[in-house]
Structure formats: structure tokens, C-alpha cells
């Protein structure tokens, strides 16, 4: 059965983007090293510290599906149809887009995106079925927060950048998270980032 992991890069004060959706220096660590971190079937290459690559590459490689919200999809234009991880992306939305064009070389029909209008739980169920024994990555924010609140997440992963944003989009979005315990974290210090991953106690 697939492992469901909610994930994002976050500031130390818990924000994954500024109020205008820009990320400022949160992602600087993706280009401050000399070790390749490869995603998107070789179409994405970042240059990170060796520690960050040794932590990130295995679980990027094990990720089979991604669940994200419509807001992030629109903000990134669905990464022009090429997600950095996962074989398919399930987008939680009230209404599927009818005029999305990923890029000049890729049509919407050929891009690995499924639009789910029946809610977060159904999107995760579809992603888990596709992922098999792999990983389902749920993007943090409103969708990730809803998934955690509903008890659908096995692990919480966060890459903390040494940044204070003060305000913006929160890691768990606007969801009300019930009280609960997590296991002790996996902790991997990188260069200008601290990788944390917690198993959710049931």
C-alpha cells in the first residue's frame, strides 16, 4: 500500500509562500550545491548539497503520484505539464479547466494530470491506487492540511529554509488540524535547509 506524505519547503515560521504566492529565498538551496537532484524523468535538474541529494533523491524516485490543489496548479501552470516528481498528478478542483495549454510542445491531453472534482479523499484514493507500493506526495497548503485533518496522511515532511516570512500561505493552509502525536523525526541538515520527516502516529 502506498505511503502518503505531505510535503513542502517552509520558512521557519511555517509559511510555504508569501501572500502573493512568491517564494522569495525559500528555494535558494535548490541551486547552492554541486550534486545533481534529478526529477521529471530527467527533465528537471537541481544542484544541491550532497546531504540534500542523498536525502531527497530516493524519495523523489519512489514517488509515483502527486496530489495538489487547483491554486498551486494555476500558479505554476502545472509546471508546464512536467512535474518534478510522480508519474501522474491529481489536481483537486471544483471544475476542471477546459483551456489549459501546458506548453508549445505538449497538449493537455498528453500531460500527466487528472482533475478530481470529488474532493481530497477521492484524489488521494486514486493516487494511492496508481502508486501501488510507492509514495503519494500531497502538496502542503489547503489540500495538504485537509488531508492531514482527515487522517489520510502517513508522514509529514518539511524542508525548512532559514527564512522568516512573517506572513503568507501556511504549511497546513486554513485547515483545523486535530491534536495528535508524531514519531521522532528523521533529521538531515543540508546547506541552507533542514530536512525533517515525521511518521504520523495512529
The residue extents of the domains of the chain are 3-199
pLDDT for 145 beyond 90: yes
For cell 520558512, the residue is 11
Which residues is 65 bridged to in the sheet? Answer: 88, 136
Check residues 104 and 72 and name the one with the higher pLDDT.
72
Predicted pLDDT at 103 = 87
Strands, E assignment, 112-193: 113-116, 135-139, 155-160, 169-170, 186-189
Predicted pLDDT at 108 = 87
Average pLDDT over residues 156-166: 98
Instruction: Give the rounded percent of residues in the chain with a pLDDT score beyond 90.
Output: 92
pTM, 2 dp = 0.95
Read off φ and ψ for residue 129, nearest 5 degrees: -65, -40
Predicted pLDDT at 105 = 82
Give the domain 3-199 fold: Dihydrofolate Reductase, subunit A (3.40.430)
Q: Give the whole-angstrom CA distance, residue 150 versus residue 21.
A: 25
pLDDT for 81 beyond 90: yes
Q: Give the whole-angstrom CA distance, residue 65 versus residue 63.
A: 6
The 10s digit of each residue's pLDDT in 177-193 is 999 999 999 999 999 99
Amino acid at each position: 500500500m502506498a505511503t502518503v506524505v505531505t510535503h513542502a519547503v517552509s520558512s521557519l515560521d511555517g509559511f510555504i509562500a508569501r501572500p502573493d504566492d512568491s517564494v522569495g529565498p525559500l528555494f535558494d538551496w535548490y541551486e547552492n550545491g554541486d550534486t545533481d537532484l534529478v526529477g521529471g524523468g530527467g527533465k528537471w535538474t537541481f544542484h544541491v548539497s550532497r546531504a540534500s541529494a542523498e536525502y531527497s533523491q530516493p524519495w523523489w524516485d519512489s514517488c509515483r503520484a502527486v496530489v495538489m490543489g487547483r491554486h498551486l496548479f494555476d500558479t505554476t501552470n502545472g509546471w508546464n505539464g512536467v512535474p518534478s516528481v510522480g508519474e501522474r498528478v491529481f489536481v483537486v478542483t471544483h471544475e476542471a479547466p477546459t483551456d489549459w495549454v501546458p506548453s508549445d510542445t505538449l497538449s493537455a491531453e498528453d500531460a500527466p494530470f487528472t482533475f478530481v472534482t470529488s474532493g481530497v479523499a477521492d484524489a488521494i484514493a486514486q493516487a494511492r491506487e496508481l502508486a501501488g507500493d510507492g509514495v503519494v506526495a500531497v502538496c502542503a497548503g489547503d489540500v495538504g492540511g485537509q488531508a492531514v485533518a482527515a487522517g489520510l496522511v502517513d508522514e509529514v515532511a518539511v524542508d525548512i529554509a532559514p527564512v522568516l516570512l512573517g506572513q503568507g500561505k501556511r504549511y497546513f493552509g486554513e485547515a483545523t488540524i486535530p491534536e495528535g502525536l508524531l514519531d521522532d523525526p528523521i533529521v538531515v541538515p543540508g546547506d541552507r535547509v533542514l530536512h525533517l520527516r515525521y511518521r504520523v502516529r495512529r
